[in-house]
Amino acid sequence: MRRVLMKIVQVLMCAPFALPAHAFVDPPNLTPSAPQAGQSVMVNVRFGECDGFLPDAPYPIVTRDGSAIRILFFGYSYSDPELCVYPPLQTSPSIGEFPPGNYAVQVDWLRVAVDGTTTTTLAILPFTVTAAPSPAQPVPALSVPGLILLTMIFCAIGYRKLRLRLTP
């Protein structure tokens, strides 16, 4: 019993000195969420502290096979708290413009860590590209004959009011 109590005391004494895990990669999302034809689509990924993506060429690599799109990020993952010094950041690379249709983006992370290199799928994001709306056409309010008729009506009303005023 005494041995168990000592272990609990040791854990409670060391708990304030434990460092929290700061590694994170948030789920990716697309911008815009409902793209139209001709609009550039971007993949947004927020990451930080112990996990991160390297923005150096040639990454991220975007490949497309029909309606299947894959974006591959290259990055790192540290487990040593002393190496976790990077602030939370966000990357938003463009994956291109698409014609109307249904697509799916697979977001992968080629991760270098102490335990080796692994490829992790962060998300598969389906999206639909709609046709761009046609430009607004001006609606004519009045044509030339309509303007002439409107001018004649206003003149007749003005003449009548003026005549009523001048009549004793």
**Cα dihedral sign, 109-110-111-117:** positive
Q: Which residues lie below 8 Å from residue 136, measured CB to CB, with a gap of 6+?
A: none
Q: Give the model confidence (pLDDT) of 32-82 as tens digits.
A: 988 998 899 999 988 888 887 877 767 888 999 999 999 999 888 877 777
User: Would the pTM of this model clear 0.75, i.e. be above it?
Assistant: no
Each residue of 121-164: pLDDT tens digit?
999 999 999 987 878 777 666 778 888 888 999 999 988 888 88
| pLDDT of amino acid 100 | 93
Whole-number pLDDT of residue 156: 93
Nearest CA among 46, 48, 41, 133 for reference residue 83? 48
For residues 96-106, average pLDDT? 93
Structure confidence at residue 26 (pLDDT): 84
In sequence order, what are the beta bridge partners of 42? 31, 94
pLDDT of residue 72: 92
